[in-house]
């Protein structure tokens, strides 16, 4: 499903080169739920951004579903992100001017479908995360856990086969964190969604099927 | 999708009230000025009664005689037109008339000043005046130099109150005329038809005008069709080469042209000696002026927009992450900006209507009837649209170039 080969990511400024990732090789099979662990600054988020096609590697190839996406341009990359990938961020990144329903519909805006269809899919996704009573609320009216559940609904509304979660429980208390983990595990088990989750939390990582550890930009086993 | 953009735009605008106010103020004030100028232009140059057939008429409103050491700029003389402008090919009707002269009258010891124009009878056939009572003077009135007059509604009110003026007499410029018709007021900005009192040119106090090459006359030609316009222009120019000029003069430039062409030709940016149309210079000049005028508010709006976008970096990051192509984001932002400017445009329109009312009642331009019409409305909205696009394109482009990873972090560019 996801294949990373000899990935290297270097950030260059005028004088300094920072190697964020080096010699990373990784395969994630369809339906797998893995976690990426490591100390701050070890390159976890960079890795997730590369898998999510939000950033391009300096060296190496990223393959999603067997397609070498290095050759893709903006529009094609956007299309792959839109159809294949859903994101969940540590800080939720909901749009404060939009209601829960409108926030969840965002990925569908970039697909050809009727407003009615969009609404129907969004309501179904919101229902899955248990927030049907809150569709017209705005993010500021929700608790952190509820906001993250909205973000998960947004990530799964387009039925992507890959879900990338960057410390999805990092800003939540343990109870809310557990709720989010339960939802992710259900998605993995019921929908066979491939999930890559970055986390600091060993207990959360233990609930996944496999743990990839990074240290100073390199994989350690 | 479009509905989503519109509702988001409205929410953003409402949330940032101060920013919205500043933007709207700048936009609407800029548009107010541009649209009042447009309205004046429209009022002066667009076809409207009595110049309903303006697209088929050409006039000689200015004549310049050049010598080696002298330039004499005036109007053409009666002789010039009577000799050379008659029977031009393509002309259906030709009218000769004078410019507006001041005429004084006294009623009950009160001095009244009116604009007096002396015309032939064809004048009334080319122009489409609205008669409130009576009618124009005819061929026989002009040929026999009858002292008859057509007056406008304001003059009737000043001389006769609200009573009928037909067959009443008015004194103007020391002459006494019998009123045969009353027309609606014509704005001073319409120089061809404008006057308060119109009388046959043959009633002039002296015959001297009959032998003048340069003088106080205008010629107005009604062309048979649009194709004849150039022919009329060219033929008269070539006839002007044969004019017997007074000593010390070498040539005369007095082309048949539209009022717009006249203004364009006499601007310092044009060549007055060139009788050909130079309207493009006027258009370029005005467009440059308008662009310069709109530049500062545009730059201002660009600045506000850039900071507004950077504030919304996280939203842009999210949209990109969920598959929004750059072009779609540019369109989204342009829609927002165009909506804002169109809203500013509507406020500008309302202010323009107010300004027109003030101008109309101020008496600054006699009988001005500045009015909103579809044309001015369309121009205004077009200006607002261009304004919105121009001020939105650069910020939108900056936004679309944001790396999604940076955007999600808050917009710091690497």
Task: Locate the domains of chain B by residue range.
Answer: 2-46+280-409, 62-256
What is the least distance, in Å, from the CA of B386 to any CA of chain A?
27
3-state helix, strand and coil shares in percent for chain B, rounded to the nearest 5:
50, 20, 30
Is the bond into B50 cis (omega within 30 degrees of 0)?
A: yes
The span from the CA of B185 to the CA of B183, in Å, is 6
Report chain B residues whose CB lies below 8 A from the CB of A47.
none
Question: DSSP alpha helices (H): ranges in chain A?
Answer: 44-51, 74-84, 100-109, 115-128, 144-156, 174-191, 202-206
* Interface residue of A48, A69, A109 to substitute, partner B, most B CBs within 10 Å: A109
User: What's the whole-number mean pLDDT along residues A199-208?
Assistant: 93
User: What are the tens digits of pLDDT across the range B201-224?
Assistant: 999 999 999 999 999 999 999 999
- The CB density around residue B19, as the number of other CB atoms within 10 Å, is 17
The token pair at B307 is 């900071």
What's chain B's average pLDDT? 89
The span from the CA of B288 to the CA of B282, in Å, is 10
User: What's the whole-number mean pLDDT along residues A180-206?
Assistant: 93
What is the least distance, in Å, from the CA of A175 to any CA of chain B?
26
* Interface residue of B16, B317, B321, B325 to substitute, partner A, most A CBs within 10 Å: B321
Q: Do A115 and B3 touch (CB under 8 A)?
A: yes
User: What are the tens digits of pLDDT across the range A4-57?
Assistant: 999 999 988 888 888 999 999 999 999 999 999 999 889 998 999 999 999 889
Residue with tokens 């429209």: B42
Nearest-CA neighbor of A179 among A129, A140, A123? A129
Task: State residue A186's pLDDT score.
Answer: 93
Per the CB < 8 A criterion, the answer to whether B116 and B149 are in contact is no
A128 touches chain B (CB under 8 A): no
Q: Which pLDDT tens digits describe chain B residue by residue (414 residues)?
A: 677 778 778 877 887 788 888 888 888 988 888 888 888 888 888 888 899 999 999 999 999 999 888 888 899 999 999 999 999 999 999 999 999 999 999 988 889 999 999 999 999 999 999 999 999 999 999 999 999 999 999 999 999 998 999 999 999 989 999 999 999 999 998 999 999 999 999 999 999 999 999 999 999 999 999 999 999 999 999 999 999 888 888 999 999 999 889 888 888 888 878 888 888 888 899 889 888 888 888 888 888 888 877 788 888 899 999 999 888 888 888 888 888 888 888 899 899 999 989 988 888 888 888 888 888 888 888 888 888 888 888 888 888 888 888 888 875 444
- The CB density around residue B285, as the number of other CB atoms within 10 Å, is 15
Q: Are strands A218-220 and A210-215 parallel, antiparallel or unpaired?
A: antiparallel
Q: Do B318 and A106 touch (CB under 8 A)?
A: yes
Task: State residue B375's pLDDT score.
Answer: 84
CA dist A38 to A90, A199, A213, B14, Å? 16, 8, 6, 44
The span from the CA of B366 to the CA of B376, in Å, is 21
Question: Per-residue confidence at A151, pLDDT binned at 50, 70, 90?
Answer: very high
* Interface residue of B6, B20, B316, B322 to substitute, partner A, most A CBs within 10 Å: B322
Q: Are strands B71-76 and B63-66 parallel, antiparallel or unpaired?
A: antiparallel
Task: State residue B411's pLDDT score.
Answer: 56
Task: State residue B414's pLDDT score.
Answer: 40
pTM for this predicted structure: 0.70
**Domains in chain A, start-ordered, CATH in brackets?**
2-220 (3.40.50.300)
> How many helices (H) does chain B have, and how many strands (E)?
13, 14
ipTM score of the complex?
Answer: 0.92
């Amino acid at each position: 499903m996801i294949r990373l080969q000899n990935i290297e990511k270097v950030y260059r400024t005028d004088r300094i080169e920072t190697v964020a990732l080096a010699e990373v090789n990784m395969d994630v099979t369809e339906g797998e739920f893995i976690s990426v662990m490591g100390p701050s600054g070890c390159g976890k988020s960079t890795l997730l951004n590369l898998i999510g096609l939000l950033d391009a590697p300096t060296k190496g190839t990223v393959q999603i579903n067997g397609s070498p996406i290095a050759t893709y341009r903006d529009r094609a990359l956007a299309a792959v992100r839109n159809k294949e990938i859903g994101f969940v961020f540590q800080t939720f990144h909901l749009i404060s001017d939009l209601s829960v329903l409108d926030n969840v519909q965002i990925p569908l805006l970039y697909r050809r479908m009727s407003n009615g269809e969009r609404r129907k899919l969004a309501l179904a996704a919101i229902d899955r995360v248990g927030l049907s009573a809150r569709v017209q609320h705005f993010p500021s009216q929700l608790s952190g856990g509820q906001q993250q559940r909205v973000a998960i609904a947004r990530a799964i509304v387009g039925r992507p086969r890959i879900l990338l979660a960057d410390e999805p429980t990092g800003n939540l208390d343990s109870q809310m964190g557990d709720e989010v983990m339960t939802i992710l595990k259900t998605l993995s088990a019921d929908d066979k969604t491939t999930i890559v989750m970055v986390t600091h939390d060993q207990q959360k990582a233990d609930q996944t099927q496999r743990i990839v550890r990074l240290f100073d930009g390199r994989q350690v086993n | 999708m479009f509905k989503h953009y519109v509702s988001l735009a409205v929410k953003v605008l409402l949330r940032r009230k101060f920013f919205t106010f500043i933007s709207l103020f700048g936009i609407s004030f800029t548009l107010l000025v541009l649209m009042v100028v447009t309205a004046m232009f429209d009022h002066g140059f667009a076809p409207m009664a009595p110049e309903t057939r303006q697209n088929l008429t050409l006039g000689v409103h200015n004549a310049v005689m050049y010598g080696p050491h002298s330039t004499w700029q005036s109007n053409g003389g009666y002789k010039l037109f009577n000799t050379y402008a008659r029977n031009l090919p393509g002309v259906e009707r030709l009218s000769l008339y004078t410019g507006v002269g001041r005429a004084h009258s006294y009623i009950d010891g009160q001095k009244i000043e009116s604009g007096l124009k002396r015309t032939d009878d064809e004048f009334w056939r080319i122009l489409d005046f609205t008669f409130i009572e009576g009618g124009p003077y005819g061929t026989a009135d002009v040929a026999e130099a009858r002292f008859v007059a057509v007056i406008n509604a304001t003059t009737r009110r000043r001389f006769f109150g609200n009573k009928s003026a037909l067959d009443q007499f008015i004194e103007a410029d020391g002459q006494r005329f019998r009123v045969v018709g009353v027309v609606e007021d014509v704005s001073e900005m319409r120089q061809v038809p404008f006057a308060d009192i119109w009388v046959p040119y043959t009633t002039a106090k002296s015959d001297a005008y009959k032998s003048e090459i340069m003088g106080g006359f205008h010629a107005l030609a009604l062309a048979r069709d649009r194709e004849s316009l150039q022919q009329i222009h060219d033929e008269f120019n070539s006839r002007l080469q044969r004019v017997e000029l007074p000593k010390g003069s070498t040539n005369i430039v007095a082309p048949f042209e539209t009022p717009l062409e006249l203004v364009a030709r006499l601007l310092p940016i044009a060549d007055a000696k060139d009788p050909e149309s130079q309207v493009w210079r006027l258009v370029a000049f005005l467009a440059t002026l308008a662009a310069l005028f709109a530049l500062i508010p545009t730059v201002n709006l660009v600045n506000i927009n850039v900071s507004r976008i950077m504030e919304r970096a996280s939203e842009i990051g999210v949209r990109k992450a969920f598959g929004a192509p750059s072009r779609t984001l540019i369109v989204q932002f342009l829609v927002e900006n165009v909506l804002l400017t169109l809203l500013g445009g509507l406020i500008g329109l309302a202010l323009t209507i107010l300004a027109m009312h003030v101008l109309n009642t101020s008496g600054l331009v006699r009988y001005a009837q500045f009015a909103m019409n579809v044309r001015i409305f369309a121009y205004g909205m077009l200006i607002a649209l261009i304004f919105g696009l121009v001020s939105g394109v650069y910020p939108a482009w900056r936004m679309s170039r944001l790396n999604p990873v940076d955007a999600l972090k808050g917009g710091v560019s690497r």
